Amino acid sequence: MHIETEVLIIGGGVTGTGVMRDLALRGINCCLIDRADLCSGASGGNHGLLHSGCRYVSNDLHSAMECRKESAILKTIVPQCIEDTGGLFVAVKGDDLLFAEKFPEYCETASILCESLTPRQARELEPLLSKDIIQAFRVPDATIDPFRLALLNVADAGRNSDSSYYPHTELLNFSLEKGTITTAVCRDNKTGKKTTIHAKQFINAGGAWAMEIACLAGCEDVSLLYSKGSLLISHDRLTNHVINRLRPPGDGDILVPGGTVSVLGTTSVRTDNLNDIRPTVPEIDKNVLEGAAMIPALATTRYIRAFSGVRPLLQSGGSGDDREATRGFALFDHEGQNISNFCTITGGKLTTYRLMAEKTADLVARRLNNSTPCRTHLNLLVDDESCRWTEPGASPKYWYQSNDPDNMILCECEMVPQSAIDEIISGAPGYEKEMTLEAIALRSRAGKGPCQGSFCGIRIASHLYDRDFYTDQTGLTHMRNFFDERFKGTRTITWGAQAAQMELAEAMHCGLLGLDMIDEPSGEK
């Protein structure tokens, strides 16, 4: 396959999709590729916290202020992806009192609102808080759904400049001519076939992979450290606010509500291996034990999933603590590397993705002699039917509204009906023939409930056979791969009720259906 475009963006995280939308609003046609799928790196592997900035007031004032500004913008332009929960910072007995004392001062320096609460007031707001709370502040934290955000960015770019997104398309190398990249040579990881993409400008939005991608173009100026973080999802939503530990950033110090669940994290472990990132039992245990100091129920609650992400940290010398490293971002124009049409954006965080995209798009538009200014802080991100299924708790509403008894519920945990699956396979960003179950799950709530897809994986596959979407063993292979993938998130948290769930799942998937014995089809890795 060969693709012609003005700009190739490599990496389908929130930043890559943000750049795509930004350029599209300036009338520039882009092609976005990802070796896996949207938000498969750090964009999907985080708390979903829209930072007020307070987390960084003590050690990274610049990031704190960026977060303050950007979170305010995002609350205006993408309200459908945001729940304005508010946040609390709480100190428990034994925490550093000096830090708690200075906190309001830090916040004031960063111009972030911060309201002091008595421990009693805090416990009235959040009854599950520990009785050992000694100090509390209320801050303007919120939560954001990065998956819907990325989907909407891609859909918007498609509408505005006919830009396209290609999943499972991995960059292999660049063709260079006299200091200019002419073509990106890619492989379709599903079919193994080559794709060449010809563009005028090339943007590396590879997140943690940005250093590897820059090296493919011979650029050695991007230097990253990788800090792996692991998080857990509880079966129930435990608090209404984002709860932060009032101390310098540490393990298990943030609990973020996300629709019907809560997300606890995170740990910080230096890693060199980017390609097999998954939670470990010690990381999970650390989060649970630390989190329980703020919210004792975290020690006994049911968890349904764990996951990991890698923070790309810009190497800047200094101390060895990854949490001390800057959480700011960097845009490399690579002009010092003698390449004129390539740039790299990395570092940063979910909350500042739009600003990162703006800076990148400014550079690339200038290089294309396009003087249209950025609009992403002004233009509301409009909704798209096919992108609405990731919102927690929304599926039942849409299902009920459709009022069609033949529209069967395929994922019973999250009430995802077959019409959602049909809508996704025929129109969601990145949809294609023979979409994998992981790709469908990424674009919906399917498989996000307590059974983690063990039932709905089977039902969705059956439905897709009914739709003639699958006509051979592909559906079985997709089922097997989907369950293998979901298992990465459940294998470290399978105690309590989840062990029963796992036993039933294995009995169905392996004992009955024999998915452990199906042959590897040719052409797949």
Sites of contact with other proteins (CB under 8 A) = 280-282, 285, 288, 299, 405-406, 408-410, 455, 458-459, 461-463, 465-466, 468, 470-473, 475-476, 479-480, 483-484, 486-487, 491-492, 494-496, 498-500, 502-504, 506-518
Least separation, in Å, of the C-beta of 490 and other proteins? 8
Cα dihedral 35, 29, 45, 436, rounded to 10, equals -50
In terms of DSSP H, where are the helices of 446-524? 456-466, 474-490, 497-506
Least separation, in Å, of the C-beta of 484 and other proteins? 5
Task: Name which of 162 and 236 has its Cβ closer to other proteins.
Answer: 236
Task: Name which of 393 and 514 has its Cβ closer to other proteins.
Answer: 514
Least separation, in Å, of the C-beta of 392 and other proteins? 23
Residues 217, 210: Cα–Cα separation, whole Å: 11
> In the numeric block, which tokens belong to residue 398?
């849409």
**Pairing relationship of beta strands 49-50 and 329-332 according to DSSP bridges:** unpaired
Least separation, in Å, of the C-beta of 416 and other proteins? 12
Least separation, in Å, of the C-beta of 338 and other proteins? 43
Task: Name which of 1 and 512 has its Cβ closer to other proteins.
Answer: 512
Least separation, in Å, of the C-beta of 319 and other proteins? 30
**Pairing relationship of beta strands 194-198 and 87-92 according to DSSP bridges:** unpaired
Q: Considering only CA atoms, which of 493, 499, 427, 490 is closest in space to residue 457?
A: 490
Task: Name which of 153 and 498 has its Cβ closer to other proteins.
Answer: 498
Task: Give phi and psi for 448, each to the nearest 5.
Answer: -95, -5
Least separation, in Å, of the C-beta of 28 and other proteins? 43
Is 254:47 a contact under the CB 8 Å cutoff?
Answer: yes
Task: Give phi and psi for 139, each to the nearest 5.
Answer: -135, 165
Least separation, in Å, of the C-beta of 406 and other proteins? 5
Task: Name which of 78 and 505 has its Cβ closer to other proteins.
Answer: 505
Task: Name which of 124 and 472 has its Cβ closer to other proteins.
Answer: 472
Count other Cβ atoms within 10 Å, centred on residue 53.
Answer: 27
* DSSP-assigned beta bridge partners for residue 309: 229
Least separation, in Å, of the C-beta of 48 and other proteins? 25
Residues 92, 129: Cα–Cα separation, whole Å: 10
Q: In what order do the strands lie in the sheet containing 7-10?
A: 164-166, 30-33, 7-10, 201-204, 342-347, 329-332
Is the preceding omega at residue 492 within 30 degrees of 0, hence cis? no
Residues 211, 439: Cα–Cα separation, whole Å: 26
Task: Name which of 124 and 503 has its Cβ closer to other proteins.
Answer: 503
Task: Name which of 138 and 305 has its Cβ closer to other proteins.
Answer: 305
Is 11:348 a contact under the CB 8 Å cutoff?
Answer: no
Q: How far out from the chain centre does Cα 296 lie?
A: 27
In terms of DSSP H, where are the helices of 335-379? 353-367
Task: Name which of 78 and 284 has its Cβ closer to other proteins.
Answer: 284
Residues 380, 207: Cα–Cα separation, whole Å: 25
**Which residues make Cβ contacts (< 8 Å) with residue 88, sequence separation at least 6?**
117, 122, 125, 126, 129, 136, 137, 138, 139, 241, 242, 243, 244
Task: Name which of 345 and 461 has its Cβ closer to other proteins.
Answer: 461
In eight-state DSSP terms, residue 495 is -
Least separation, in Å, of the C-beta of 465 and other proteins? 4
Task: Name which of 35 and 478 has its Cβ closer to other proteins.
Answer: 478
Least separation, in Å, of the C-beta of 411 and other proteins? 11
